[in-house]
């Protein structure tokens, strides 16, 4: 059977366009989850809205036995930027020369449509499949990630509802659909550092303490530190200063404080505690007077073996004819909240070339292929 030829193009296109037409900038959902629920509920899914503060989440599940296969994703999108720079209004999606244009086309409403249509076909063709299928959808992935997936996972964990297999629809592909999947991500730790000095007149430096001067050697050492060498699955840990601010704006004033924000993307060779200890040791070694606040953005995670990764690889091969490359590069995703529960997790979605850009778009035929791959995954994991 050719799964590609079995795609119902119009159903996929209609749902994609309906989702893309909704201006669901974080943390707004604008009815996207209700739209998805309208497709899922007739298939036997129990729809459980979970609203936490300003964030709309949805947990939808069909079945009560294992294994539990979960599609995870987000309905929120980033701001459009200068709308006049778009050649087509960002929330008026349009298919142009085979490319579906609109904010969220690649990140990640196209994936959401593919998930729903793949599930619809699978359930209609295999109503007595084993296990359960679920959707974990949030409107808070692109924003502060406080009241979204992490809160839903906490709720599921509290009632011992365990996900065995999870596909996150983030745009993982590089040049063509399925050439790259993410089977892990680096951890992320942000530090907000305030280095204290004493403000004074530049003509009387002996009466002041310049925090910029005092910080230079320590910041240089932090930037040059080899934190680790990575491993088979992860590149070496990276330390980057992302923001730095000091001074009053006047040319004749020594500032009293220097503010430095930095981030580390780290491998499984390190932990939060190890990183913090090394940073504090360097700051103390240089005799700095400082305060520091930490933001724990997520631990590294990895699915380096198991049924899910095997099924992803074979499904992509069967549908596309080529092999996929599992990688752990890139930023963070909501997978960091799901993987620690013990779930096997892989990110699989469209080409990421235009995400967060003006004129975001995705090749519609890639969404057709993605739908077939998702359906084939369900068949491999939920059919005897």
User: pLDDT category, 329, cuts 50, 70, 90?
Assistant: confident
* Residues 196-204, mean pLDDT to the nearest whole number: 97
Residues 6 or more apart whose CB falls under 8 angstroms from that of 239 comprise 222, 223, 225, 227, 262, 263, 264
Question: Which residues are part of the catalytic machinery?
Answer: 76, 141
* Residues 266-289, mean pLDDT to the nearest whole number: 96
pTM exceeds 0.85 for this model: yes
List Cα–Cα distances, 297 to 69, 146, 334, 356, in angstroms.
25, 10, 10, 20
Answer whether 361's CB lies under 8 Å from 107's CB.
no
Answer whether 314's CB lies under 8 Å from 380's CB.
yes
Q: Which two tokens stand for residue 257?
A: 């404080």
Interior angle at CA 80, CA 146 and CA 240, nearest 5: 55
Answer whether 311's CB lies under 8 Å from 260's CB.
no
pLDDT at 301 over 70: yes
User: pLDDT category, 273, cuts 50, 70, 90?
Assistant: very high
Q: How many helices (H) and strands (E) does the chain have?
A: 9, 19
Q: Which two tokens stand for residue 330?
A: 């890139």
pLDDT value of residue 153: 97
pLDDT value of residue 384: 73
Residue environment code for 24-40, b if the CB has 16+ CB neighbours within 10 A, otherwise e? bbbbbbbbbbebbbebb
Q: Is the peptide bond before 190 cis (omega within 30 degrees of 0)?
A: no
User: pLDDT category, 23, cuts 50, 70, 90?
Assistant: very high
The phi, psi pair for 198, rounded to 5°, reads -140, 120
pLDDT value of residue 6: 40
> Can you tell me the distance from the alpha carbon of 252 to that of 201, in angstroms, rounded to the nearest whole number?
6
pLDDT at 20 over 70: yes
* Residues 127-143, mean pLDDT to the nearest whole number: 96
Torsion of CA 26, 27, 28, 33, to 10 degrees: 100
pLDDT value of residue 2: 35
Structure confidence by residue, pLDDT tens digits, 240-265 = 999 999 999 999 999 999 999 999 99
State what percent of residues in the chain have pLDDT above 70. 98
Exposed/middle/buried for residue 293 (C-beta within 10 Å: 0-12, 13-18, 19+): exposed
Q: Residue 165: beta bridge partners?
A: 69, 344
User: pLDDT category, 7, cuts 50, 70, 90?
Assistant: very low
Per-residue DSSP letter, 316: H
User: pLDDT category, 40, cuts 50, 70, 90?
Assistant: very high
Taken in order 111, 114, 120, 121, the sign of the CA dihedral is: negative
* Residues 55-59, mean pLDDT to the nearest whole number: 98
Structure confidence by residue, pLDDT tens digits, 307-324 = 999 999 999 999 999 999
> Can you tell me the distance from the alpha carbon of 164 to that of 158, in angstroms, rounded to the nearest whole number?
16
> Can you tell me the distance from the alpha carbon of 141 to that of 350, in angstroms, rounded to the nearest whole number?
17
């Amino acid at each position: 059977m050719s799964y590609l030829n079995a795609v119902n193009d119009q159903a996929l296109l209609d749902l994609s366009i309906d989702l893309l037409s909704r201006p669901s900038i974080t943390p707004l959902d604008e009815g996207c989850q209700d739209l998805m629920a309208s497709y899922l509920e007739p298939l036997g899914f129990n729809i459980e809205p979970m609203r936490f503060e300003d964030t709309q989440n949805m947990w939808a599940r069909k079945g009560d036995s294992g294994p539990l296969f979960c599609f995870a994703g987000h309905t929120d999108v980033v701001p459009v930027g200068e709308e006049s720079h778009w050649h087509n209004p960002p929330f008026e999606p349009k298919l142009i020369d085979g490319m579906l244009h609109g904010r969220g086309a690649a990140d990640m409403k196209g994936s959401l449509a593919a998930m729903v249509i793949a599930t619809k076909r699978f359930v209609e063709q295999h109503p007595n499949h084993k296990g359960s299928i679920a959707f974990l959808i949030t409107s808070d992935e692109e924003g502060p990630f406080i009241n979204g997936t992490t809160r839903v996972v906490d709720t599921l964990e509290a009632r011992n509802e365990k996900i065995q297999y999870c596909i996150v629809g983030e745009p993982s592909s590089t040049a063509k659909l399925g050439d790259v999947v993410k089977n892990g991500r680096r951890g992320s730790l942000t530090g907000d550092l305030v280095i204290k000095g004493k403000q004074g007149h530049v003509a009387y430096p002996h009466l002041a303490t310049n925090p910029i001067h005092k910080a230079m050697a320590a910041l240089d050492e932090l930037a040059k530190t080899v934190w680790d060498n990575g491993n088979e699955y992860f590149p070496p840990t990276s330390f980057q200063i992302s923001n730095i601010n000091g001074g009053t704006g006047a040319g004749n004033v020594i500032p009293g404080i220097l503010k430095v924000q930095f981030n580390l993307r780290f491998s499984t060779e390190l932990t939060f505690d190890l990183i913090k200890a090394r940073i504090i040791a360097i700051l103390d070694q240089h005799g700095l007077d400082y305060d520091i606040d930490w933001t724990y953005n997520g631990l590294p995670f990895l699915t380096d073996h198991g049924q899910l990764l095997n099924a992803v690889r074979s499904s992509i091969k069967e549908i596309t004819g080529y092999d996929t490359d599992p990688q752990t590069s890139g930023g963070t995703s909501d997978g960091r909240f799901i993987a620690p529960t013990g779930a096997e997790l892989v990110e699989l979605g469209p080409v990421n070339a235009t995400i967060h850009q003006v004129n975001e778009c995705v090749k519609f035929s890639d969404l057709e292929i993605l739908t077939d791959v998702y359906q084939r995954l369900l068949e491999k994991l939920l059919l005897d």
